[in-house]
Amino acid sequence: MSDPAQTLVIFDLDFTLIDNTYAICNAFNHALDFFRVNRPKKEQIIAKIGIPLKEMFLDYLDGTRAEQAVHVFREFYGMHYFEGVKIIPGTIELLEELHEYQLALLTSKKTEMAVKLLEYYDLKKYFAYILGEQKEIKPKPAPDPIKHILLKFPNIRKAYMIGDHVVDCLAAKEAGINFIGVLTGNTPEKDLRHCAGKDAPILKSIKDIVPSRHLI
């Protein structure tokens, strides 16, 4: 088992620790309504959660309007982000269990919004560092945000990325750290397995991530 003090565990947020589907879908549809674009099925929105917002909107709007839609989304979401949030079972128990480890959070949300959400549900206290979308840092699947986080923990000897989406896996691989996949999102197991490789742990949920089982 790794030395906890020298082990960094980076968590994705949406569909890894929380289910924020209700607020995200409402804000997404609100932005499309603003541009008088037909709303997609809920499942189509959910399937895109985890990638940068602009990329989500590019399926429905041209580049300029997609940029504008991001602002409309964030204004609405900023007033309703806490509605309908569900903490995924096992989240608090795992974070408590990993109290000796270095914990960070990496999300496609804006950093300030992620912090507000974590504070609202009393989860912020578990993380030594939180990184959301930043203009100067390429988002997942680029390795840049993970590399940025690693620089904040210079004494780390081993690092993990835990997430539900292929972009989490790709970012981890490119950054040269371990990946643990969870199936609490909408990414099929075969897609995570194809990305992660046959030996990487792909688990039903974070409830299955227990240090005593030597996953971390």
- Model pLDDT for residues 39-63, shown as the tens digit of each residue: 999 999 998 998 889 999 999 999 8
Residues 42, 31 share a domain: yes
pLDDT (average), residues 107-131: 96
176: left (phi over 0), alpha (psi -120 to 50) or beta: left
Read off the DSSP letter of residue 83.
Answer: T
Where among 37, 62, 80 does a domain terminate? 80
Query: For position 45, which CATH number holds?
Result: 1.10.150.240
Residues 71 and 176 both lie in one domain? no
On whether both 37 and 93 belong to a single domain, the answer is no
Same domain, 54 and 160: no
Count the domains in the chain.
2
**Are residues 38 and 10 both part of a single domain?**
no
Q: How many residues does the chain have?
A: 216
205, 188 contact by CB (below 8 A): no
For residue 2, the model assigns a pLDDT of 73
The tally of CA atoms less than 13 A away on the side-chain side of residue 11 is 29
Cβ within 8 Å of residue 204, ≥6 positions away: 182, 183, 184
Q: Please provide the average confidence, as pLDDT, over all residues in the chain.
A: 94
Are 132 and 174 found together in one domain? Answer: yes
Q: Once rounded to an integer, what is the mean pLDDT over residues 91-102?
A: 95
Residue 95's identity, in one-letter code, is L
Give the Cβ contact number of residue 35 at 10 Å.
Answer: 15
What CATH number should be reported for the domain holding residue 188? 3.40.50.1000
Do 188 and 100 lie in one domain? The reply is: yes
pLDDT over 80 (residue 215):
no
Residue 1 has pLDDT above 70, yes or no: no
What is the rounded average pLDDT of the residues 57-83?
95
DSSP state of 59: T
Give me the domain span that covers residue 37.
21-80
